[in-house]
A and B are shown apart, each in its own frame.
Chain A
Amino acid sequence: MLLWLNRIRSMITALRSRKDFESGMSEELQFHMDQFTQDLIRSGVPAAEAARRARIEFGAVANVEEDCRQSRGLHLIDELGRQISYAGRLLRKSPGFTLTALATLAICLGANLTIFAVVDAVLLRPLPFPQSEQLITIFNTYPKANVLRDGSSLTNYYERRGGQVPGLSSVALYRYGNANVGEPGSTEHEPITRVTPDFFATLGTGPQIGNVFTEEHTTFQTDKVVLLTDGYWRQHFHADPNVVGKTLRVDGVANTVVGVLPRGFRFLSSESRLYFPLASNPEHRTPLQRHSGGNSIHMIGRLKEGFTISTVQSQVDAQNTNLETGSPTAKMMADAGFRSIVTSLHADHVESIRDVLLLMQAGAIALLVIGAVNLMNLLLIRANSRAKELSVRQALGARTRHVISEVVVETTLLTLLGGLLGMAVGWAGTRLVATLGADRLPLGSAILFDGRLAIAGLAAAVLLGIALAVPIVWWNLRRQVASAMQSETRGGTAGRAAQSLRHSFIVGQIALALVLLTGAGLLGFSLKEAMAVPPGFQPDHVITGHIAMPWKSYSKTQTQLAFSERLLQSIRQQPGVLSAGSGVNIPLSGHSGKSAVTVKGHRPAPGEPPRGIYSYGVDGDYFQALGHKLVAGRFLNSSDSRQSSVSRVCVVDQDFANYYWPKGNAIGQRLFRSPDERPDLEAFMVVGVVAPAKQAALTDMEAPGAVYFPFGHASDNEIFVIARTSLAPELFGLTLQKLVREIDPDLPVTGVRTMEERVADSLTARRTPALLAALFSGVALLLTALGTYGVLSYAVSQRRREIGVRMALGANPGAIRIQFVWLSLRLLAAGTAIGAAGAWIASRAMQAMLFRASEAGPLVLSGAVATIGFVAIAACLLPANRAARIPPVEVLNG
């Protein structure tokens, strides 16, 4: 070991002062010769004879010098240098090949690096917290009630913290929200996060100035305190070191700054720059509230050293069973399949896009393989044309080791150059991904092209270079054996072996391209199907906006109703507005949560799970504005919320009506806004049935139904406002903001978008992968065409003589052409068979991303086969025609 260190050190010294090494060596050897000659002369040998004898005894100085260099390991470097310059000369000599290869490498490696940048940032890099692998999240799930995620409740938190779950060192809650921050007239709408005091300790972060929250801050009387992020502190407080104790006006109330978070602090993908305490009243923390998470409050926790997620999961399960025993809702929750899931915070945060990203990476790798196969074929053809040169050099004493290292140096030089270009493409790609809105992905704002990625790119390039060298080395060595047996290489075993290798490459290429094309086809088909889904409303000519009324001045239903009424009135007075409404939610808003509704007189069948229903309050001409179709009865309207005693009526959708009243007698039935039956006084009477609308996504397969209540009964301080216009709706956006400010200058409107934009945006998660897959398969098709063309034209040129002879003997040009078309058909058939199997596996892997594509599978596959077939045959027609036109005389003369 020490010896090796010494050797490497001496090699490096020799390399650093290479000139000194060489001159010192010559001087030393010269000194030796001189001394020796003198000694010989002294012993009586004549001077001329002495010099001759010395040279003979010493041997060739150049050889000794080379041996000395070898003792220092310098010969390896020398050889590498020679081989690099040789490889460089070869690449310059055939610019066509080199440019094709570099372009292929740049595109394929660049695509991989771009996708890898996203995969790395989102999936691979640990969250930026100490021991982040210990961070977990816990959420409640009620799968049998169709509620897969319901966050965690305050009760969950108070029942789990302080070591009540032995495997957790701490737990904390957070809730995202919005606030209007600043002095009147210049308020800004800020995303905020409310957290329990142990939130930062759980993450392992402390404040850089001041303190985090304490238990005293968790009541509504004492929660007017705020923690600033470093960015907000610098921007709004000019990095004032004495900021603690200053105040910030939030939703019209002065909040005291208690501290500043460290620079770079960011919780997951949150945009929040202000953190507030998550306050609650004692009655929110009782066992009765255990299931009231509502997917707005979320829990994080930190595993104790030595505990795993699965042990903590069983601890939480055991605790849940204990707590639920004897609770009045125990049976209902058990029927709903209630469980609290413990899972890694990182994995959970990125779960929605993990499969998509991995699939995209797989697609990019397939593209790289196709590109690499093309290069291998080109390189094999080149190796064949250089066979003679190689034989001569081997006859002159080139060693096998040299032959191998030369090939490796050449391919690696090529892939390294391609890798550098690929890095440029990858860099541009990451910028493109960023401008395409990758920051909307979970952790997407962390996507960047840095040293880590550059190293990954270089490593990939080197590996690829070595991989490309393998078949060529194999061919070169095999050819040696063959040429030892027969002098004429053409038609020899090596030629045939190389040919079948090239052909199997083509088969593999066709197969991979088919898989990519089918995948892209399935994604595209799913997108088309999703776009064709009737949303259940008319999204054209509708503008929408979101308004968050501050709790302080809008906590009462009356004030919320009053605001809604004033706003809708002023909107209706605008020219070009056909109808206007507001509601606690709108379809495809991303806020669609389900809650419990009980139908009077409905006796659940044994084992029938409770159903989570979309339900929310609506005001004004909500249905007309969105374009809901009335099936029976009447719509809700403004007066339902504003009669002296607000009328207890509701509208249900067709899905809901069909489930509970399959006989079609929904009108006049009664239901309750609660998980259980209440006194009749609290019942709502169904006055109308509307056509069902897609609530969470166009591709929703579950349709549990929806119930709409008058806003007066189900109001909220956050509302959506909707207006149907006769003109282009986007023109109305600014007006909408102006009208809101006229009523309350403190209220900004966010998310002003047309309903058509919302529909389109809801498909982004499908559109982007489909576009990328289409791009990949387009490039794959092009590469496959190039590959097929290249190999077949080479086959034609190699068999020129044979074809010439056959033509001279009277062969029909058509027969020659058919022979080559037949060859490509055989390759195509083999590739299609393998590719179809691969496409089937791929379609299973991407099942979750597909929509109504199962019956279209065969259709898409045959379309893909037809496309590949067309491209492959087109690519072979040119060389086949050339073969058919080979003039026999010329060939025979030549």
Chain B
Amino acid sequence: MSKTADLLPGTLDMLILKAVSLEALHGYGVLLRIKQISGDALDIPQGSLYPALYRLESQGLIQSEWGQSDNNRKAKFYTLTVSGRKRLREETAGWNRLATAMSAALSATGPEEA
């Protein structure tokens, strides 16, 4: 079994928002950053990254600007907008609530197991 986990639906958007909230990144950078902050535990399907970026941009949560990459190539950099930051905060809080509730529920011990 692979040590990477599949993404839950809807979580890719959250990860992208988180990644670009730290610094301006181009698409490939977003991919690397997610791998890095998740400790290589999450497997991002590369093909779905760009549609997600385009969708978030069209929703006004992130914005893009052309700039120079590290190796001096023209690349498109994404940054978080104000409403993106707000969304990230809400989603993080929501996720934390869900995660706490899920782990509490799953670690509960029933009468049969006791």
Contacts and interface: CB of A to CB of B under 8 A. Distances in A.
Interface of A: 2-3, 6-7, 10-11, 24-25, 27-29, 31-32, 34-36, 57-60, 63-64, 67-68, 70-73
Contacts of B24: none
23 contacts: A3-B59, A6-B59, A10-B58, A10-B60, A25-B50, A28-B26, A28-B50, A28-B75, A31-B28, A31-B75, A32-B27, A32-B50, A34-B73, A35-B69, A36-B46, A58-B46, A59-B45, A59-B47, A60-B47, A64-B50, A67-B51, A68-B50, A72-B54
B55 to A, nearest CB: 4
Interface string B31-67: 1000000000000011110111011011110000010
Nearest to A34: B73
Determine which residue in B26, B31, B45, B60 has the highest number of CB atoms from chain A within 10 A of its CB, and name it. Answer: B60
B58 A67 contact: no
B58 A32 contact: no
A67 B53 CA distance: 11
A34 B75 CA distance: 11
B51 A29 contact: no
B4 to A, nearest CB: 13
A6 B74 contact: no
B85 interface: no
Contacts of B66: 24
Contacts of B75: 28, 31
A742 to B, nearest CB: 87
Interface size class of B (residues with CB under 8 A): 20 to 34
Contact of B47 (A27, A34, A64): A64
A59 B46 contact: yes
Given A24-B76, A59-B46, A71-B58, A31 B51 contact: no
A547 to B, nearest CB: 79
Interface in B61-110: 66, 69, 73-76, 83
A32 B32 CA distance: 11
Nearest to A60: B47
A736 to B, nearest CB: 81
A71 B62 CA distance: 14
Given A59-B47, A67-B50, A11 B58 contact: yes
A31 B58 contact: no
Nearest to A54: B46
Most chain A CB atoms below 10 A, which of B27, B50, B52, B74: B50
B44 to A, nearest CB: 10
A779 B51 CA distance: 56
B54 A27 contact: no
A230 B45 CA distance: 76
A71 B51 contact: yes
Given A29-B50, A59-B46, A72-B54, A6 B60 contact: yes
Given A28-B76, A71-B51, A72-B54, A35 B59 contact: no
A280 to B, nearest CB: 72
Nearest to B29: A35
Given A31-B26, A59-B46, A64-B47, 18 more contacts: A2-B60, A2-B83, A10-B57, A10-B60, A24-B66, A25-B50, A28-B50, A28-B76, A31-B27, A32-B27, A34-B73, A36-B28, A36-B46, A59-B45, A64-B50, A67-B50, A67-B51, A71-B54
Contacts of A34: 73
Contacts of A67: 47-48, 50-51
A68 B51 contact: yes
Given A64-B50, A67-B50, A27 B74 contact: yes
Contacts of B28: 31-32, 35-36
